[in-house]
Amino acid sequence: MTYTVAVCDDDQTQIDILKNNLIRYSIDTDIDFFIDEYISGELLIEKYKSLKSPYDIIFLDMEMPDIKGLDVAAAIRELPDRNVSIAFVTSYPEYMQDSFDVQASQYIIKPVVYEQLAKKLDIILKCINASYTNIKVISEKSGERVLYLDDVICIETEKSSKLIVTTISETFLITAKLSDLAKELSDKDFISVHRTCLANMKYIRKFNADSLEFTSGKTVNLSRRRLPEVKELFSKYVSRKMRTNQ
Calpha distance 46→112 (Å, rounded): 27
pLDDT tens series, the chain, 246 aa: 789 999 999 999 999 999 999 999 999 999 999 999 999 999 999 998 888 778 999 999 988 988 988 899 989 988 877 778 999 998 876 666 555 566 777 888 899 999 999 999 999 998 887 666 577 778 777 777 778 888 899 999 987 788 999 998 889 898 889 999 999 898 889 999 999 999 999 999 999 889 999 999 999 999 999 999 999 999 999 888 777 655
Type and span of the H or E element at 230: helix 227-245
Letter for the amino acid at 165?
A: V
- Short-list 36, 35, 34, CA closest to 44: 36
For helices 114-131 and 12-29, the axis angle rounded to 10 degrees is 70
Question: Are 150 and 131 a contacting pair, CB within 8 Å?
Answer: yes
User: Which superfamily is assigned to 136-245 in CATH?
Assistant: LytTr DNA-binding domain (2.40.50.1020)
| DSSP code, position 98 | G
Question: What are the extents of the domains in the chain?
Answer: 2-131, 136-245
CA quadruple 200, 205, 206, 207: dihedral, nearest 10:
10
Q: For 2-131, give the CATH class.
A: alpha beta
Contact 192, 184 (CB under 8 A): no
CA distances from 185 to 48, 143, 144, 209 (A): 31, 21, 18, 25
Read off the DSSP letter of residue 224.
T
Contact yes or no for 110/90 (Cβ under 8 A): yes
